[in-house]
């Protein structure tokens, strides 16, 4: 009977350990403004041009519920020049983006981007996820930003995303009903990079990702120790 109990404990510890190890690499979304679709899968809204060649830059604000180190950014967008066709050759595209996290300043009317906190530029593979209401191809992108960006809880921040080479690339907006803050803002190089309200008012689709905390690894170690302690008398008898 004791042998059976020990065997069951050992098996449970192994299964539990596998589950915990499987979860160890999962990341959490700490801020989410995802794309939304209608009943037939069309992505609601449109893309809003935000690219270096165009001189236009869109930015969106956010606040975190707790202090966190941002691990990656996920966002949606595409080009107004690309309409989906049969045998579409744009299902996967490599893009060069520039991301900037900024503080926020209040101008007496609303919050606007302040001083840059962190910048990241990199090539990103965009994966086609559908078309929006204007027939534009919409891609999903994700960029690892490392582990240097620690943000405080309850503080207002802004994120801007620009395509570095494609003039007509736009950031997809979102129609989801979330606890979003203020509408997106626009900066135009010809206006001296002054931030202004974007019209029509909209929110932009993106998510902020943080690493999964790993206190479960300590639990796994404890379970393993219990299993070894239970099995030891039977192994050395």
Gap between the Cα atoms of 225 and 234, Å rounded: 15
DSSP state of 88: -
Gap between the Cα atoms of 37 and 18, Å rounded: 36
List, for residues 182-194, the tens digit of each pLDDT value: 899 999 986 666 8
Whose structure tokens read 């690309």? 82
List, for residues 94-140, the tens digit of each pLDDT value: 789 999 999 999 988 899 999 999 999 999 989 999 999 999 999 99
73 by Cβ neighbours in 10 Å (0-12 / 13-18 / 19+) ranks as buried
pTM to 2 decimal places: 0.76
Query: Do 206 and 75 contact (CB within 8 A), yes or no?
Result: yes
Query: Do 133 and 80 contact (CB within 8 A), yes or no?
Result: no
Gap between the Cα atoms of 206 and 48, Å rounded: 13
Gap between the Cα atoms of 12 and 6, Å rounded: 10
């Amino acid at each position: 009977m004791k042998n059976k109990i020990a065997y069951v404990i050992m098996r449970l510890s192994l299964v539990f350990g596998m589950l915990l190890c499987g979860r160890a690499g999962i990341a959490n979304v700490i801020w989410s403004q995802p794309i939304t679709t209608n009943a037939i899968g069309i992505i609601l809204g449109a893309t809003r041009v935000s690219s270096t060649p165009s001189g236009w830059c869109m930015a969106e604000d956010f606040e975190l519920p707790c202090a966190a180190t941002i691990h990656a950014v996920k966002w949606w967008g595409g080009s107004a020049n690309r309409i989906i066709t049969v045998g579409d050759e744009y299902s996967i595209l490599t893009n060069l983006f520039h991301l900037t996290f900024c503080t926020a300043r209040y101008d007496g009317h609303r919050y606007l981007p302040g001083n840059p906190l962190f910048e990241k530029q990199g090539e990103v593979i965009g994966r086609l996820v559908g078309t929006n209401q204007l027939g534009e191809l919409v891609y999903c992108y994700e960029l690892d930003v490392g582990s240097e960006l620690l943000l405080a809880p309850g503080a207002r921040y802004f994120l801007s995303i620009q395509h570095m080479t494609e003039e007509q690339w736009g950031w997809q907006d979102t129609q989801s009903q979330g606890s979003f803050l203020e509408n997106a803002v626009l900066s135009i190089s010809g206006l001296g990079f002054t931030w202004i309200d974007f019209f029509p008012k909209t929110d932009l689709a993106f998510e902020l990702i943080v690493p999964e905390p790993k206190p479960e690894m300590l639990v796994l170690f404890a379970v393993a120790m219990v299993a070894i302690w239970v099995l030891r008398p039977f192994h050395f008898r």
